[in-house]
Chains A and B, each alone.
Chain A
Amino acid sequence: MFVRGLKRKCFDGEEDIEGTLAGIKAIPSYNLQRQSLLDMSLVKLQLCHMLVEPNLCRSVLIANTVRQIQEEMTQDGTWQMINAQSTGQASLDRLVSTDILCRSSRDQAEGKHAPAYGTFSKDFESDQAQDSSETMSTASSVQAPRNLQSNVWEMENPQDNKGNFQKSLDQIFETLENKSPNSVEDLFTEVDSSYYDLDTMLTGMMSNTKMGHCDSLETFSSPTNTASNSNCKSDLNDLDHIVEILVES
């Protein structure tokens, strides 16, 4: 029935919380309970179901609960308190990343191809990544927020070649977006060895899908809508084509 043997005892005395909600919140157990609820919610959001798309309704409800708790904690002043103590690097990062979530995003210009597949990802970091890869459909390239996003990545997933990967990815997407018959030569002139890295990255990434890093997956599952489906597919085909040519030469 209920999961037993949990270290963190889940409180079922809801009346206690409700009673004290309007009253004094000085009871220490309330903060503890609220914190454990926040932790539980963040864990739920970060559980990425690799094979099937996560349930958007559930994600939104959990995210709203998290926001609610954070708002209350901010009002309480306990938010500052938690930031002051470093209660584990992991939880601090999570709190910071949700702060980033609440900031207004830079990706205003979605353009005509409104990426309909902007699925509300449970992983806040991958949210950033997803929005940046939306540039595949649109011509906008916003540099400053991407630095922010790569900083977030480095915080959670310190992979050395992430930055380079992102850079070469951007280059490719931008050039493909401006593609015209005459610019095929342009594509080749901009070729450098980072494309090789991209190829190995691509194959490596696909085989890594099951290993649980949602954010790396999300960059490649770039959002698209039904109309631009074929555009994206042809862009990817062109990418393969380019890589083929590079390898042969």
Chain B
Amino acid sequence: ADIISTVEFNYTGDLLATGDKGGRVVIFQREQETKSRPLSRGEYNVYSTFQSHEPEFDYLKSLEIEEKINKIRWLPQQNAAHFLLSTNDKTIKLWKISERDKRAEGYNLKDEDGRLREPFRVTELRVPTLKPMDLMVEASPRRTFANAHTYHINSISVNSDYATYLSADDLRINLWHLEVTNRSFNIVDIKPANMEELTEVITAAEFHPHHCNVFVYSSSKGTIRLCDMRSSALCDQHSKFFEEPEDPSSRSFFSEIISSISDVKFSHSGRYMMTRDYLSVKVWDLNMENRPVETYQVHEYLRSKLCSLYENDCIFDKFECCWNGSDSTIMTGSYNNFFRTFERNSRRDSTLEASRESSKPRAILKPRKVCTTGKRKKDEITVDSLDFNKKILHTAWHPMENIIAVAATNNLYLFQEKVN
């Protein structure tokens, strides 16, 4: 199994898609509740597996294009088939996943194995009939959106009009129509005329969940820009600019790096957005640009270790974050296979671990604690014994229920709220 690089529930939560470093997409489906297996409700089993992207070689630059799936976004379901967008660094693909549980039998001109029947054997007109067969799930690529990004694509976001979507790379954001593959519109371009003057890149972008003309993009300098596509064709001028003033007392050489935003997500309500930087998660009210309304420390104990984390490159890890269905709780990952949830109203937070040792099936997860002072209590872990190779970068929350998917390197964990 390869390293999981993206996790995403669909709009109903019945399907869960994962993309990995090898370009594969694996889709899990939630089992329906049946009388014979009442406990199976909530279990996700493999529904479909397919190779979405292959490694490519850019001959002009003599560089490989990785097949790693950076993002998967589902389209809302409009017929029996399911559609999703998956992207690597350069190319976005629209996949159709459809079920087939019937096959046609009794063709007039063909044998059962597909060979043409001898003309003299055809003595009567035979109309094929549909017979049931074992369920087969097929994934087929319907569109390929290529050659529009010079830099590495970091985000894709489906618009609420369900007809367009955006794709963002380090310096540009393009707007696509789902039906059109040979053309895309550039809506943001922050590439300086002279690349040597480059000091800021785009790190994430997302459409507003309800207003199809509004999108946001975050930067490596810790700022978020909200743009309105009605104001101009090229949205280089933002409508709103979100930035928290820097705390001068905590300034260091690493201040800018740790302020770089790795993920931005609108709340389901559309009233708030959440940003993840290296040490914290911030919730912003779209009506207030000068500071976030809530700030949650994910792993503040790492602040004194920033130099080591810079040396081993961990400081550049891009953690994602997600909302639960009702926007009451937010979740994000950390190191040592820990992930954190924050309840916004009660300000309660929890640290849980996604690992085989600490999670037996159906067992309740034990809360974990990192020891920040000298004295280590029982069951606590010291900062120095954290495993920085075990990082949880990708998590997803079921759109309606309290089911979460946590990707720990090459393992996928699914946790559910215990219902008595």
| A115 nearest CB across to chain B (Å) | 9
| Chain B residues in 8 Å Cβ range of A131 | 195
CB–CB B150/A57 < 8 A: no
A residues 1-25 near B (Cβ < 8 Å) are 1-3, 10-15, 17-18, 21
Is the C-beta of A61 less than 8 angstroms from some C-beta in chain B? yes
Contact A120 to B304, CB < 8 A, known contacts A64-B256, A108-B193, A217-B62: no
Alpha-carbon distance A17/B251, docked complex (angstroms): 10
Q: B386 → chain A, closest Cβ, in Å?
A: 7
Q: Which of A60-91 contact B (CB under 8 A)?
A: 60-61, 63-65, 68-69
State how many angstroms separate the Cβ of B92 from the closest Cβ of chain A.
14
B200 touches which of A11, A15, A60, A68 (Cβ 8 Å):
A60
Is A65 within 8 A of B254, CB to CB?
Answer: yes
Chain A residue with the shortest CB-CB distance to B194:
A105
Among A13, A44, A116, A209, the one with the most B-chain Cβ atoms within 10 Å of its Cβ is A116
Chain B residues whose C-beta falls within 8 Å of the C-beta of A34 in the assembled complex: 253
Measured between alpha carbons, how far is A225 from B170 in the docked complex, in Å?
A: 15
Complex partner residue of A69 from B61, B200, B253, B386, CB under 8 angstroms:
B253
Chain A residues, Cβ within 8 Å of B305: 12, 14
The winner among B63, B64, B196, B260 for most chain A CB atoms within 10 A is: B196
Does chain B have a CB within 8 A of A93?
no
Residues from chain A with a CB closer than 8 A to the CB of B171 are 56
A221 in the interface, Cβ–Cβ < 8 Å?
Answer: yes
A57–B170 touching, CB < 8 Å: yes
Measured in the bound complex, the distance between the Cα atoms of B279 and A14 in whole Å is 15
For residue A127, CB closer than 8 A to chain B, the reply is yes
Interface residues of B in 362-408 (CB under 8 A from A): 384-388
- Given A14-B303, A37-B253, A61-B257, A224 and B60 touching (CB < 8 A)? yes
From B126-134, B309-317, B319-327, give the one contacting chain A. B309-317
- B307, A225: Cβ atoms closer than 8 Å: no
Q: Complex: how many Å from CA A110 to CA B191?
A: 13
Flag if A233 contacts B60 (CB, 8 Å): yes
Residues B147 and A226 in contact, CB atoms below 8 Å apart: yes
Contact with A along B141-170 (1 / 0, CB 8 A): 000000110111000000000000000001
Chain A contacts for B198, CB-based, 8 A: 60, 120
Judge whether A188 is part of the interface by a CB distance below 8 angstroms: no
Chain B residues, Cβ within 8 Å of A1: 384-388
Chain-B contact segment, one of A47-55, A142-150, A155-163, A165-173: A47-55
Complex interface: chain A residues within 8 A of B252 (CB): 14, 17-18, 21
A107 within 8 A of B: yes
Which of chain B's residues have a CB closer than 8 A to the CB of A2? 308, 311-312, 384, 388
Any A CB within 8 A of the CB of B289: no
Docked Cα-Cα span, A51 to B308, in Å, equals 27
Residue of B nearest to A119 (CB): B151
Determine if B150 and A107 form an interchain contact, defined as CB atoms under 8 angstroms apart. no
- Smallest beta-carbon distance B183→chain A, Å: 11
Tell me the bound Cα distance from A108 to B192 in angstroms. Answer: 11
Assess the B196–A101 pair: CB atoms within 8 A. yes
User: In the complex the two chains form, is B387's CB within 8 Å of A221's CB?
Assistant: no
- Please state if A10 and B307 are interface contacts (CB–CB under 8 Å): yes
Residues of A close to B220: CB separation below 8 A: 57, 60-61
Contacts of A69 in B (CB 8 A): 253
A53 near B199 (CB under 8 angstroms)? Answer: no
Bound form: Cα–Cα A20–B254 in Å: 15
Q: A40 to B254, alpha carbons, bound, how many Å? A: 13
B249 within 8 A of A: yes
Interface residue ranges of B176-217 to A (CB < 8 Å): 191, 193-196, 198-201, 203
B contacts with A, residue count (CB < 8 A) = 50
Contact A18 B249 (CB under 8 A): yes
B62 CB contacts on chain A under 8 angstroms: 206, 209, 217, 220-221
**B105 interface residue per 8 A CB criterion:** no
Whether A65 pairs with B257 at a CB distance below 8 angstroms is: yes
In A219-236, which residues have CB < 8 Å from any B CB? 220-222, 224-226, 229, 232-233
Contact at A51–B312, with CB atoms within 8 Å? Answer: no
Whether, in the assembled complex, A117 has its beta carbon less than 8 Å from a beta carbon of chain B, the answer is yes
Q: Which residues of A contact B388 (CB under 8 A)?
A: 1-2
In the complex, A241 has a CB within 8 A of chain B? no
B60 adjacent to A14 (CB under 8 Å): no
Q: Which chain B residues border A229 with CB–CB below 8 Å?
A: 60, 147
Q: Which residue of B lies closest to A220 (CB)?
A: B62
Taking CB as reference atom, which chain B residue is nearest A18?
B252
A60-B198, A61-B316, A107-B194 known; A51 vs B64 contact (CB < 8 Å): yes
Does B66 reach chain A (CB closer than 8 Å)?
yes
Q: How far is the CA of A102 from the CA of B195 in the complex (A)?
A: 11
A65 touches B63 (CB 8 A): no
Our pick among B196, B249, B304 for the contact of A105 (Cβ within 8 Å) is B196
Which residue in B201, B304, B316, B385 is a CB contact (below 8 Å) of A12? B304
B94 interface residue, CB < 8 Å from A? Answer: no
Neighbour of B304 across the interface among A14, A55, A57, A220, CB < 8 A:
A14
Quick one: which of A15, A61, A217, A224 has the most chain B CB within 10 A? A61
A179 within 8 A of B: no
In the complex, chain B residues whose CB is within 8 Å of the CB of A12: 304-305, 307-308
Instruction: Determine if B63 and A14 form an interchain contact, defined as CB atoms under 8 angstroms apart.
Output: no
Complex interface bits, B255-278 against A, C-beta within 8 A gives 1, otherwise 0: 011001000000000000000000
Starting from the known contacts A12-B304, A34-B253, A116-B191, 14 additional A-B residue pairs (CB-CB under 8 Å) come to: A18-B252, A21-B252, A37-B253, A53-B61, A55-B316, A57-B201, A60-B220, A65-B254, A65-B256, A108-B193, A108-B194, A117-B61, A217-B62, A233-B60
What are 6 A-B pairs with beta-carbon distances under 8 A? A2-B384, A14-B303, A14-B306, A15-B304, A34-B253, A58-B316
Q: Which residues of A does B touch, CB under 8 Å?
A: 1-3, 10-15, 17-18, 21, 34, 37, 40, 44, 51-53, 55-58, 60-61, 63-65, 68-69, 101-102, 104-105, 107-108, 110, 114, 116-120, 127, 131, 206, 209, 217, 220-222, 224-226, 229, 232-233
Among all A-B residue pairs, the 6 with the closest Cβ atoms:
A221-B61, A116-B150, A118-B195, A56-B170, A226-B147, A105-B194
